[in-house]
Structure 1
Amino acid sequence: MVFEFKFPDVGEGIHEGKIVKWLVKEGERVKADQPVAEVETDKAVVEVPCPKDGYLLKQYFKEGDVIKVGQIMFAVGEEEEKAREIDQSEEAPKKKPVSKRGKEEKSEKKEEKMEENSGSGGRVLATPATRKFAKDRGVDLSKVKGSGPGGRITIDDVKKYKEGKGAEEEVHPAAEVRGEAREEHVKDYGKVERVKASSLRKAVANRMIKSAYTAPQVTHMEEVDVTKLVEVRRKAKEEAEKRGVKLTYLPFIIKAAIGALKKFPQFNARYDAGNQEIVYRKYHNIGVAVDTEDGLIVPVIRNADRKDLIGLAKEITRLADEARKKKLKLEDMQGGTFTITNIGSIGGTYATPLLNYPEVAILGVMKIKERAVAVDGNVENRQILNLVLTFDHRVIDGAKAARFMNELSKRLEDPYLL
């Protein structure tokens, strides 16, 4: 019997992918769990396995095509069987044309339904469009006087009310962002080149917009004297090299961060806005930002608190190599609770990293620099590391962020605490 394989939901929030490469040709024998194709999602390039033994009878997409979750990707069966031809456009239900009168009736019914929805202050007459306009601007319609027929509230009424209230009302950020996806009439004054954004670049753009306009973000900066750490790492590096392990400063920083996270669990949490709850996560999966040719990828070290320095170093190397080779698995990209971005490996003094939403904190690590510092009345050359912590102000207050950074700094200044 022919089995039609539908492209699955291979990750958190993934709706489509691009066929990068078919690993099995039509007519070839394939075994269960054997990778059939490589698909690029907005998180990584993943291998799609065959669910059963048989022959690959039909590929419904070519390399380079975009496939949506739920579409039939390929068919597998016995050698003598034949796969059916499919028009993929048929898989999406077609919308029936609506007559002008039908639209009017639908609109009238919708308005009537909304009119019957009363607020605490009594019956509020407003169209769905007006209600949405008011909601986006934080306006309580029960407080607005309507100028329309029967006292119906119009968009102009909401605008006038808003202008009258001034700064007393809160503007919902989504209202300011809604037009972001559409480019306005921008005039070019010279030759330009347009390049289609990759799946990864589009994903990064969307995530950054969501992060910036969902969570109120604050960045706290700190200078840390890591002179002792530099010496400890130098000695440990020599020993690690004998074991074939590349030991950077990042494992030490991860260790210090986990110690601070355990003392201040708010930084390992997330905010459930729907239920207005802070979700404290009892596990520590540390995301490590990796710079690749295609863009920024954040693979995750799972249960990082259970690994020693060498174990962390090995996992960092593996994840970074896999990310740059586009070989990360989906499980390598999921479940992060706190992210560290090592900007200092490239350069820079300070930065203000955006949250890896829905996480509530991200640590930026800058470059270690030798500086003249006053120590006990004397001027000494010390190794100084600048750290930046961006946090979600809905969950974390500034004083708590300062204490978190104090704890982190203490552990880095005295590496024997790690």
Structure 2
Amino acid sequence: MEFKLADIGEGIHEGEILRWLVKEGDQVEQDAPLVEVQTDKVTAELPSPVAGVIERIMAREGQVVPVGTVLAVIREAGVKAAAVASGAPGEQASLQEKLAPQAHSEAQPGREAAAPQASGAVRQGGKRRALATPHVRALARKLGVDIDEIDGTGPVGRVTEEDVRRFAEGAREPVAQAPTDAARAQGEAGSRVEAPVARGELVEQVPLRGLRRRIAEHMVQAKRIIPHATHIDEVEMDGIEALRERLRPYAEARGVKLTSLAFFVKAVAIALKEFPYVNASVDEAQENVLLRRYYHIGIAVDTEHGLIVPVVKQADQKSVFEIAREVSDLARRARENRLSLDEVTGSTFTISNAGALGGLYATPIINYPESAILGIHKMEPRPVVRNNEIVIRNIAHVSLSFDHRIIDGGMAIRFTNRVRELLEEPDRLWAELR
């Protein structure tokens, strides 16, 4: 049987083969994990649908393949190898036709396998299928464009957003891209005489794969589409710290580790209801602003695999204790790479808490397609002026990066002021709870 990349939902149209857990000739049981696949959101282990022997592996590690691609051929238990090899000529030809586009290439180790066509498309059942990210496919559908007819100009012939828009306007021929700064620099370097470098000893080549590749694509997409601006402020945290100390025994009795992040999540959820554009996104294809009336807060988690953003759903309807428990659980399972697709999708606003790592402040990149992200930075005692006297207070810097297409500076400042007000005077935070 043909083992294919299945549609796992949430608009996923392709995946990257991270690691094969079996090799050709291995005997596998039904539901045994065969391969690790990285999608836009999660890493998933795909199980074997039958018991049998791995006859042939068709997709290489590092290769990006669309849903429906044959990843491997499995000889089911009880079926002799000779029966497979000596099948009817028509059946053999049909199988080879299906598998040819994904046949093994002689790509160099550490590099993605070469695309079967110059355009970066593959053939599925005789039909051409372009390589493109889920966002680009969604844009093509909105614009009424058949993405499989487009010749991509991206890496490995991948169809880009610009390709789709150009095609929708009637320009079917891809426009030659101007040389990048890196390409120009390389050309200039080629005209200079430099001392030879032993690349094998001084330069390590690390393939851009898996989650790191997805993060790179997502960050480039966010910066290319969204005009970022950032507002920076400081929050006096003494009131929250005192409240945490008072609540600590109650939290511990309930098995909850109460952190200041839980209070930030609650304060943000309250403020978002008053500033709907900060909880919005832009539909570029229809030129609409989507004001979301639900409040799903993404929490950026630093893991050894890369940055993962699990989501606290309906944060406005949960208590601080519930939020603290859920954030702790999501962060732990994110580091263990055990989150489900639902747990890392659907966020309407993101918080990036880098305070434990240090640093004064930063300008976080918005989690596209959201309209804003709040960065929380190091909290430490600092001298401040209160009532014309210098006193020591626990101060944390915060930075709000926002989409300047729909959020002006005044709105960003007022939103941040509201979050700060709720945190600096916790009595107001409790008074706003619903």
Instruction: Give the TM-score, by structure 2 length.
Output: 0.68
2:57 to 60, 69, 79: 60
Residue 57 of structure 1: how far off its partner (Å): 4.3
Spell out, residue by residue over 1:182-213, the C-alpha distance to the aligned partner (whole angstroms, 9 max, x if none). 68517587533222123222222222221112
Distance 1:346 1:5 in 2: 44
1:94-243 equivalences under 5 Å are: 179=180, 185=186, 187=189, 191-243=202-254
Distance 1:259 1:374 in 2: 29
1:365-404 equivalences under 5 Å are: 365-404=376-415
Counterparts in 2 of 1:181 and 1:279: CA distance versus 1, 3 Å? farther
Spell out, residue by residue over 1:103-127, the C-alpha distance to the aligned partner (whole angstroms, 9 max, x if none). xxxxxxxxxxxxxxxxxxxxxxxxx
Counterparts in 2 of 1:237 and 1:214: CA distance versus 1, 3 Å? same
User: Which residue number corresponds to residue 30 of structure 2?
Assistant: 30
Counterparts in 2 of 1:317 and 1:220: CA distance versus 1, 3 Å? same
Instruction: Give the TM-score, by structure 1 length.
Output: 0.71
Counterparts in 2 of 1:347 and 1:337: CA distance versus 1, 3 Å? same
Distance 1:310 1:415 in 2: 15
2:44 to 46, 50, 61: 46
Residue 224 of structure 1: how far off its partner (Å): 1.5
Residue 49 of structure 1: how far off its partner (Å): 4.3
**Using CA pairs below 8 Å that are at least 6 residues apart, which structure has the higher relative contact order?**
1
11-20 or 398-407: bigger deviation:
11-20
Q: Name the SS of the counterpart of 2:186 in structure 1.
A: coil
Residue type at the aligned position of 1:327:
R
User: Which residue number corresponds to residue 265 of structure 1?
Assistant: 276
Q: Name the SS of the counterpart of 2:355 in structure 1.
A: helix
Indicate the structure (1 or 2) with the bigger Cα radius of gyration: 1
78-87 or 350-359: bigger deviation:
78-87
Counterparts in 2 of 1:181 and 1:41: CA distance versus 1, 3 Å? farther
Question: Structure 2 unaligned runs (5+)?
Answer: 86-94, 104-114, 120-161, 164-174
1:289 aligns to 2:287 (yes or no) = no
Residue type at the aligned position of 2:45:
E
Residue type at the aligned position of 1:30:
Q
1:364 to 362, 369, 375: 375
Q: Is the 8 A contact 2:15 2:37 kept in 1?
A: no
Distance 1:95 1:192 in 2: 31
Residue type at the aligned position of 1:66:
Q
User: Which residue number corresponds to residue 151 of structure 1?
Assistant: none
Question: Structure 1 unaligned runs (5+)?
Answer: 98-134, 137-173
Q: Is the 8 A contact 1:293 1:324 kept in 2?
A: yes
Counterparts in 2 of 1:243 and 1:356: CA distance versus 1, 3 Å? same
Number of aligned pairs? 338
398-407 or 61-70: bigger deviation:
61-70
User: Which residue number corresponds to residue 19 of structure 2?
Assistant: 20
Q: Name the SS of the counterpart of 1:46 in structure 2.
A: strand
Q: Is the 8 A contact 1:43 1:333 kept in 2?
A: yes
Distance 2:11 2:182 in 1: 22
Residue 95 of structure 1: how far off its partner (Å): 6.0
Residue 232 of structure 1: how far off its partner (Å): 0.6
353-362 or 232-241: bigger deviation:
232-241
Residue type at the aligned position of 2:210:
S
366-375 or 343-352: bigger deviation:
366-375
Residue 28 of structure 1: how far off its partner (Å): 3.6
Residue 74 of structure 1: how far off its partner (Å): 4.3
Q: Is the 8 A contact 1:29 1:56 kept in 2?
A: yes
1:246 aligns to 2:257 (yes or no) = yes
Residue type at the aligned position of 1:389:
L
Q: CA RMSD in A?
A: 3.4
